[in-house]
Amino acid sequence: MKINKAYFAGGCFWCMVKPFDQYEGIEGIISGYMGGHVDNPTYEQVKTGTTGHYEAVEIEYDPALFPFDKLLDIFFKQIDPTDADGQFHDRGSQYRTAIFYVNEAQKEAAENYITSIQSQYNKPIVTEVLPYKTFYAAEEYHQNYYMKDPENYAQEQQLRQQYATKTSQ
């Protein structure tokens, strides 16, 4: 079995794990940080918005069971790709949206996907398509947060949904 990796920044990484974690072919998901200028950043550093890092997830997947385009479908259903300042009630540069490609095929797929959905929005899509940079795993207490603290995770999801509904009206 061949395993590929994909990297997505979609706001708070807590909210990006569960949507991917329920499919055959997804072999692992790690919350972390990438895209910035600080080596081995901590959550305390990243949350200041001064490191340049995005909160992101690393997804290990079997492309024979789960193609990259399907990952893009799931990703774009979790975000507002027109919001340049964060996601829903999570505001700040660390909550920007991006796809970090690891090869030209992922880059092309991401760019084509964005082009194909742009007409669904009345504002430009600002989700960035960027080359892979070092991914730094977040601290252990951030991993699989939705399973460790389902009550807080549910509240976080509810707030995201309320905000998304309010801003789409």
Annotated catalytic residues are 12
**What sign for the dihedral angle of Cα 66, 1, 6, 48?**
positive
Helix, strand or coil, per DSSP, at residue 71? helix
List the one residue out of 141, 144, 112 whose CA is nearest residue 125.
112
CA–CA dist 111, 167 (Å, integer): 25
Structure tokens at 115: 């082009």
Among the listed residues 99, 96, 18, 29, the one whose alpha carbon sits nearest the alpha carbon of residue 57: 29
